[in-house]
Amino acid sequence: MQDNPARHSKPTPVPPVAASALEKTLPLRINGKNYFSDDDPAMPLLWYLRDMLRLTGTKYACGIGACGACTVLVDGKAQAACMVTLKQVTGHSITTIEGLAGNADLHPLQQAWIDEDVVLCGYCQTGQIMSAAALLQHDADPSDADIDKIANLCRCGSYPRIRRAIKRAAAASKPAKKK
Ligand code: FES
Ligand code: FES
């Protein structure tokens, strides 16, 4: 993936968009907010998040869909942000690490990551958490084998800690049994 030619531009607040202009813009929904981009529709989502919105929690590492550092949620599913264009995610709901907790201070996964002291160098960890969030959305009680199917790479070898943290978050998210 080549460098983003737009990355040195200053971030600007999203301006009000006239109805006629909407036809020329890409409506995007990111972390519960609406954005209208007039950038190149072929721009990778990763560039838009990091360089235009300054949501730098989503990391750039391999740029070829191999490492998972740039993982975000698109309609609740894990997606490498370096591998999809703005046009491809138009009309879909995107969640980054900055929006994962919603209105809470921390998502249960973020709390579990702290409690299990998962982070080593940290570079891969936001992508790891987003992949874990996608896993828990369709499997509230994953086995070790399920967790090990997460393909995100960690050069620091934090996999055992990640496994413990996902199990901790899953347990914390279970509804309390009625007495
Ligand atoms: S930077 Fe996107 S998968 Fe590695
Ligand atoms: S914590 Fe260093 S790459 Fe994963």
- Mark which of 64, 98, 132 sits at the end of a domain: 98
Task: Quote the tokens at residue 26.
Answer: 């890409």
Is 78 domain-assigned?
A: yes
- Is residue 15 predicted with pLDDT exceeding 80? no
Compute, in angstroms, the gap from residue 11 CA to the centroid of ligand 2.
29
Is 178 domain-assigned?
A: no
Over the stretch 132-146, which tens digit does the pLDDT of each residue have? 999 999 999 999 999
pTM given for the model: 0.87
Q: How confident is the model at residue 154 (pLDDT cuts 50, 70, 90)?
A: very high
Q: What mean pLDDT do residues 107-116 have?
A: 98
Question: Among 3, 58, 67, which residue has the most ligand 1 atoms within 8 Å of its CB, making it the best to mutate?
Answer: 67
- Is residue 7 predicted with pLDDT exceeding 80? no
Domain co-membership, 119 together with 94:
no
With tokens 């929006």, the residue in question is: 99
Give me the domain span that covers residue 32.
5-98
